[in-house]
């Protein structure tokens, strides 16, 4: 097989890149290791910056997002049994964020791509990227039981943190920076209306808790319009038996997270224990109750920070989680992936139209500036809100002082709001 841009990975980064290139008349092929059902059901992000919404609109992939996504004006910080609203529009000159599940973005992009192209191969696992320094890099992959090759002008490694694209950087051609946090998140999806209008980030006595939500899923599922979806349970990376797709239509549902120790087994967290712990961590002195209901998905995610520098080697370009991971407390991972892809698509389109590699040459440097800022913000949010397993009373007081500064100073709140709602792309 031969194409202009070989894209490894059919997550949000790979699918959006394919869509932007296709609309600009650049041919590409997407290789995705998993099945369609798997990528469409993997529970992950939910909070989108305005720039991400804009990028999906530019790609003609925001019809359902616009109709169903929930616009949020801010977030709530909870600590010391008190609640504090951080109002984004007044602090940022009008910016808001939107709640729309990553699963739905993927469904929307897959549905468009299966109808309009470019080719998207499921169960096509890339094995290696060869000759990235040459004019014709090659992706070796396995599909339908056969090993095959895809010869490209450019290769985009959008294959997430556990992908293989990064391995094609020779020793000495790159450097990575990583950090493991000493706690994880237990995430649950519950068939119960959210107990709040905005996301709640809580520093409770037993540790961090986050109350998020998912918009109601329309009955008009786009993937059903273009192909019949084989039935089958969506699978969690961690505990397949726990992921069940039963989002009801009509009402938003609750998405909640709890800080838990590393190595936690979700089976040690029966539903009652989850609800009791959530209720304890969200508890405030004012009148407020946490709505409880059936939990339909449960999984544990470890928390890590990771950046690979540079994001380009020869004609291989990394984008999204393939190049960097942030702990989810700042809700930045998907937004960074989309921001990389916007820059990358512009670079490839400029090359296609004018022959200039100027934007592509600056790709890594430009993206990394934003990546490090998002890493810093995610690290700040994480450390400010999570109980330190080996922390002492001094650490405890420092966390409270940081939180109090944000709620007492408009300047400090504006800094949080600017980072959370998305720093400008400087393009
Ligand atoms: P993905 O989504 O991991 O997609 C990579 C794809 O590549 C495929 N793949 C391969 N394909 C072919 N050959 C191979 N050898 C391959 N190896 C892998 C995989 O099957 C997969 O389909 O990376 P991408 O596209 O860069 O997207 C990144 C986002 O998924 C990620 O950053 C976010 O989910 C992070 N994140 C959040 N980000 C936000 O911006 N806002 C949020 O609110 C938010 N919440 C979250 C999150 C991540 C979480 N977890 C589970 C880590 C909440 C959680 C709990
Ligand atoms: C989510 O809705 O899944 C979500 C929202 C905000 C975060 C992390 C996850 O910081």
The residue from 201, 215, 298, 313 that is catalytic is 201
According to the model, what pLDDT value does residue 244 have?
31
Q: Whose CA is nearest to atom 48 of ligand 1?
A: 44
According to the model, what pLDDT value does residue 278 have?
98
Whether 420 is a known active-site residue: answer: yes
Residues 368, 374, 379, CA angle at the centre, nearest 5°? 125
Take residue 103 and report the two structure tokens written for it: 């699963």
Q: What are the CA-CA distances from residue 56 to residues 48, 101, 159 (Å)? A: 10, 13, 20
Average confidence score pLDDT of the chain: 92
Map residue 96 onto helix, strand or coil: coil
d(CA 281, CA 84): 15
Mutate to test the pocket of ligand 2, among 43, 46, 198 (most ligand atoms within 8 A of CB): 46
Residue 350 has pLDDT above 80, yes or no: yes
Local confidence band at 43 (pLDDT 50, 70, 90 cut-offs): confident
Residue 191 is given by DSSP the state S
Q: 57: part of which helix (H) or strand (E)?
A: helix 50-58
Residues pairing with 257 in the sheet: 187, 210
Local confidence band at 235 (pLDDT 50, 70, 90 cut-offs): very low
Judge if the beta carbon of residue 12 lies within 6 A of ligand 1.
Answer: yes
Q: How far does the centroid of ligand 1 lie from the alpha carbon of residue 321, in Å?
A: 6
Spatial CA neighbour of 182 closest among 386, 402, 326, 400? 386
Residue 231 has pLDDT above 80, yes or no: no
Map residue 109 onto helix, strand or coil: helix
- The alpha carbons of the chain give a radius of gyration, in whole angstroms, of 21
Whether 332 is a known active-site residue: answer: yes
Whether 201 is a known active-site residue: answer: yes
Q: Whose CA is nearest to atom 51 of ligand 1?
A: 44
Residue 362 has pLDDT above 60, yes or no: yes
Torsion angle, alpha carbons of 39, 45, 47, 53, to 10: -30
Local confidence band at 26 (pLDDT 50, 70, 90 cut-offs): very high
Take residue 162 and report the two structure tokens written for it: 């556990």
The residue from 22, 72, 211, 308 that is catalytic is 72
Q: How far does the centroid of ligand 2 lie from the alpha carbon of residue 45, in Å?
A: 6
According to the model, what pLDDT value does residue 229 have?
30
298: which residues sit within 8 A by CB, 6+ positions away? 186, 187, 188, 189, 239, 242, 243, 266, 269, 274
Judge if the beta carbon of residue 329 lies within 6 A of ligand 2.
Answer: yes
Contact 36, 20 (CB under 8 A): no
Q: How far does the centroid of ligand 2 lie from the alpha carbon of residue 46, in Å?
A: 5
Judge if the beta carbon of residue 102 lies within 6 A of ligand 2.
Answer: no
Mutate to test the pocket of ligand 1, among 7, 8, 11 (most ligand atoms within 8 A of CB): 11
According to the model, what pLDDT value does residue 415 have?
98
Residue 317 has pLDDT above 70, yes or no: yes
Local confidence band at 425 (pLDDT 50, 70, 90 cut-offs): low
In tens, the pLDDT along 169-185 reads 999 999 999 999 999 99
Q: How many CB atoms lie within 10 A of CB 287?
A: 5
14: which residues sit within 8 A by CB, 6+ positions away? 7, 8, 30, 32, 156, 158, 159, 319, 320
**Which residue in this structure is represented by tokens 């009955």?**
219
């Amino acid at each position: 097989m031969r194409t202009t841009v070989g894209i490894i990975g059919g997550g949000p980064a790979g699918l959006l890149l394919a869509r932007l290139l296709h609309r600009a008349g650049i041919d590409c092929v997407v290789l995705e290791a998993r099945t369609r059902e798997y990528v469409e059901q993997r529970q992950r992000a939910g909070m989108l910056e305005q720039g991400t919404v804009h990028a999906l609109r530019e790609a003609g992939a925001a019809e359902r997002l616009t109709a169903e996504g929930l616009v949020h004006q801010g977030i709530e910080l909870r600590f010391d049994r008190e609640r504090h609203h951080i109002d984004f529009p007044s602090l940022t000159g009008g910016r808001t964020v939107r709640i729309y599940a990553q699963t739905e973005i993927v469904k929307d992009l897959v549905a468009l791509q299966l109808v309009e192209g470019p080719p998207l191969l499921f169960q096509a696992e890339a094995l290696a990227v060869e000759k990235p320094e040459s004019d014709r890099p090659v992706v070796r992959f396995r599909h339908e039981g056969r090993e095959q090759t895809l010869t490209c002008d450019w290769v985009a490694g959008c294959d997430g943190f556990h992908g293989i694209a990064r391995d094609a950087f020779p020793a000495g051609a790159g450097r990575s920076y990583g950090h493991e946090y000493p706690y994880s998140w237990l995430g649950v999806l519950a068939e119960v209306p959210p107990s709040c209008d905005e996301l709640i980030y809580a520093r409770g006595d037993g540790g961090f808790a986050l109350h998020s939500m998912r918009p109601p899923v329309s009955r008009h599922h786009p993937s059903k319009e273009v192909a019949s979806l084989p039935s089958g349970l969506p699978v969690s990376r961690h505990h397949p038996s726990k992921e069940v797709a039963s989002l009801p239509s009509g009402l938003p549902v609750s998405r909640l997270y709890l800080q838990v120790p590393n190595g936690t087994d979700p089976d040690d967290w029966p539903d009652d224990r989850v609800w009791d712990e959530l209720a304890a961590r969200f508890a405030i002195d004012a009148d407020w109750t946490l709505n409880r209901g059936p939990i339909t998905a449960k999984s544990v995610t470890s928390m890590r920070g990771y950046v690979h520098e540079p994001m380009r080697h020869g004609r291989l370009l990394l984008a999204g989680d393939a190049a960097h991971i942030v702990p989810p407390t700042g809700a930045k991972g998907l937004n960074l992936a989309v921001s990389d892809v916007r820059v990358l698509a512009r670079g490839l389109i400029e090359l296609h139209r004018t022959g200039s590699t100027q934007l592509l040459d600056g790709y890594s440097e430009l993206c990394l500036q934003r990546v490090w800022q998002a890493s810093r913000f995610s690290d700040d949010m994480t450390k400010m809100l999570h109980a330190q397993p080996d922390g002492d009373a001094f650490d405890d007081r420092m966390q409270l002082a940081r939180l109090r500064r944000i709620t007492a100073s408009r300047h400090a709140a504006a800094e949080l709001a600017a980072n959370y709602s998305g720093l400008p792309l400087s393009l």
